[in-house]
Amino acid sequence: MPNAANWIEAVPARRIAVKTRGRVHGPIARLVSPGDLGERIKPFVFLDFFEASPNNFPKFGFHPHSGIATVTFTISGDNFYEETSGQTGVLKAGDVEWMSAGGGVWHRGGPTGGDDVKGFQLWIALPPEQENGAPQSQYLRKQNVASVGPAQVLLGQYGDAASQIESTPSINYLAVDLKAGQCWVYETPPGHDVAFVAVHKGALRQNGEAISKGELAIFEESGEPLVFQAETDAGFVLGSAVKHPHQLVTGNYSVHSSKEALQIGEANIALLGEALRARGAL
């Protein structure tokens, strides 16, 4: 391969449109919310990065969602989960949870065990035909996550690697680890105008611009590839998708495509909440 810097400069690439460190609340950095950057990169409407020891990390009691899917990727440590669908268990390092809230679900979770925890939780806006459907959950152990080169395919398909999680179409979500000095090109799938990366380790450059740990970068909408070079050993998640064509109508824990759909979701949530209160879980 030619000199890495010269090779990187020779490859056409998207430019970074926005960088942010979000809003930090203790061990959690809220990088994207539906009311801000989520509108720009929908269907990706919310992203939290968390990193802490179990003693400094809150356990989240039962809370509801509708109209979205949550994707939890545990990089290190163990996280427990419980849902009103009856699902319960522990996500270990490298595991992935897809929970499609559909028309309404309540869940809770948090660190368990003594190891430090690190990871991301992503919300994805569901299309109208799914946003008030039956909730469903899928869990993928680390050993079952497909990979291509330095990238693990958490959702979607890239190259010859496809995730076992049946998610909404036209979405890719990858976890990438690069060694210092390593170059990697993400060839954008057709129609994936929306793209972002969030760095959880080290520092890298994309099209000559630095992105470091704790930063999220959103790229201009185009079909050009993303071209990365790691300045140090680096780890990041990358999302790309066909842009969600619907408006974002939000409740406290819900995102829908219309006021009518939101009302249905919130009514279902209220009924589930009454059942939780009746058994003393709230």
Residue 271, Cβ neighbours under 10 Å: how many? 9
CB under 8 Å to 148, separation ≥6 — which residues?
158, 159, 160, 161
pLDDT at 1: 38
Averaged over successive runs of 10 residues, the pLDDT of the chain (282 residues) comes to 48 86 93 95 97 75 94 94 88 95 92 88 96 94 97 97 94 98 95 97 93 97 94 98 97 95 97 92 81
The whole-model pTM stands at: 0.94
pLDDT at 194: 97
Residue 181, Cβ neighbours under 10 Å: how many? 11
pLDDT at 8: 54
CB under 8 Å to 162, separation ≥6 — which residues?
146, 153, 156
pLDDT at 2: 40
- Looking at the 3D structure of the chain, how many domains does it have? 1
pLDDT at 114: 78
What's the CATH code of the domain at 55?
Answer: 2.60.120.10
Supply the range of the domain harboring residue 54.
4-278
3-state secondary structure of 271: helix
Which of these, 43, 32, 238, lies nearest to 130 by C-alpha position? 43
